[in-house]
Amino acid sequence: MSSDAPKPILKFKIIQDGPDEFVDMEVKDFQFKKGGTGICPKCGGETKAVGHDWTCESCGLKLNGPIF
């Protein structure tokens, strides 16, 4: 893959009480049903996923997705 290739930006649902809220997040690696890593849209820290449940290691933001 070329270093000039666009980064994959996917849509995720924020896990919270209250109305549904969605954000875009840059995904570095993702394997369907296994998980992956990404860059937190809130603080820029690293997010890790198990399945479709993502958690930021820095700020604790919880996401679900990607939403297709």
In a domain, 49, yes or no: yes
pLDDT of residue 4: 66
Question: How much is the pTM?
Answer: 0.85
In a domain, 61, yes or no: yes
| Contact call for residues 23 and 12 (beta carbons, < 8 A) | yes
Going by pLDDT thresholds of 50, 70 and 90, the confidence category of residue 38 is very high
Q: Which domain holds residue 40?
A: 7-65
In a domain, 2, yes or no: no
In a domain, 47, yes or no: yes
In a domain, 35, yes or no: yes
By percentage, how much of the chain surpasses pLDDT 90? 82
Residue 29 scores a pLDDT above 90: yes
pLDDT of residue 1: 44
The count of structural domains within the chain is 1
pLDDT of residue 3: 60
